[in-house]
Amino acid sequence: MRGVGDRVSDAALKLKRAGIESARLDAEVLMAEAAGVSRAEVFAGSINLTKEALVRFEAMVTRRAAREPLAYIVGHKEFFSLDFEVTPDVLIPRPETETLVHEALEIVGRKPIARVLDIGTGSGAIAIAIGVNAPGAQVVAVDISPAALEVARRNAARHRVEGRLQLLLADVYRPLESDEPLGQFDVIASNPPYVDSAGVANLESEIRSHEPRVALTDESDGLEFYRRIAAGASTHLHNGGTVLVEIGAGQTSDIEQIFARSGLEMMSVISDLAGIPRVLKGRLS
């Protein structure tokens, strides 16, 4: 009978032929998930591969070869050293977005109690990472998708922050199930849909064909949500409060102008670990 290592190698070759750069890593992750073991055990080749696990593995490899994102196949993704459930109803959390969380934690860490609003929470990754690492933070997370909020709710329970995290169905600042206003916050954070409508066609197939379009694009110029966030900032921020938004390539100047027209003082543009401008920081003065 062929061993685990041989089967992983075969899968890696299949994935490589499908154009997947991380073919070997993905094959090992899929084997670990299918067999219910760690990747280290797969690497060591010391697992007892059952017929059921092999069937699961082969089905997963087929899905990945069709360019379905790995995170959707295994059902989870690490973000800010926390494990998050992900489904096709939510955007897959990305390491670049951790830059925004770091900046938010710098701000709320200076306050004994801070109110944070996360607009477009998706899986809840930003809101929950802040809540886990800032016990004094009271976080409100909103999304227009009921299905996304259900994923965020399960993630909040997983990481035991549901008592300090309020999840609301809302369109930016407008609640859709209540007339009660959101109130004011010390930090407004968001990773909004910032791909313009024409740019969707240029995204990688994993993203374009599988991740929720509503989380990727505003179906316009990619700036609509920045306009809406900035326009409501004076109403929803405490004096001296901060807006933190993730931005796309080449958008810095446009968003700075949007902020300035809404009375927000530009503070800084923060680059991610790759040196790419990633987060724009503004303040209500």
pLDDT per residue of the chain (285 residues) written in tens, 0 to 9: 468 899 999 999 999 999 999 999 999 999 999 999 999 888 887 788 899 999 999 999 999 999 999 999 999 999 999 999 999 999 999 999 999 999 999 999 888 889 999 999 999 999 999 999 999 999 999 999 999 999 999 999 999 999 999 999 999 999 999 888 899 999 999 999 999 999 999 999 999 999 999 999 999 999 999 999 999 999 999 999 999 999 999 999 999 999 999 999 999 999 998 999 999 999 987
pLDDT at 111: 85
Identify the pLDDT of residue 114.
Answer: 94
**Residue 247: alpha-carbon gap to chain centroid:** 13
State pTM to two decimals: 0.94
Strand duo 174-175 + 76-79: pairing: unpaired
Q: What is the pLDDT of residue 125?
A: 98
Query: Looking up tokens 């930090």, which residue turns up?
Result: 187
pLDDT at 16: 97
Contacts for 42 with CB less than 8 Å, ≥ 6 apart: 4, 8, 28, 31, 32, 35
d(CA 174, CA 172): 6
Which numeric CATH code is attached to 76-284? 3.40.50.150
Phi, psi for residue 117 in degrees, rounded to 5:
-115, 125
Q: What pLDDT, on a 0 to 100 scale, did the predictor assign at position 3?
A: 82
- Torsion, CA 65, CA 218, CA 131, CA 235, rounded to 10: 180
Phi, psi of 8 (to 5 degrees): -65, -40
Class of residue 56 by CB neighbours under 10 A (exposed 0-12, middle 13-18, buried 19+): middle
Contact 245, 190 (CB under 8 A): yes
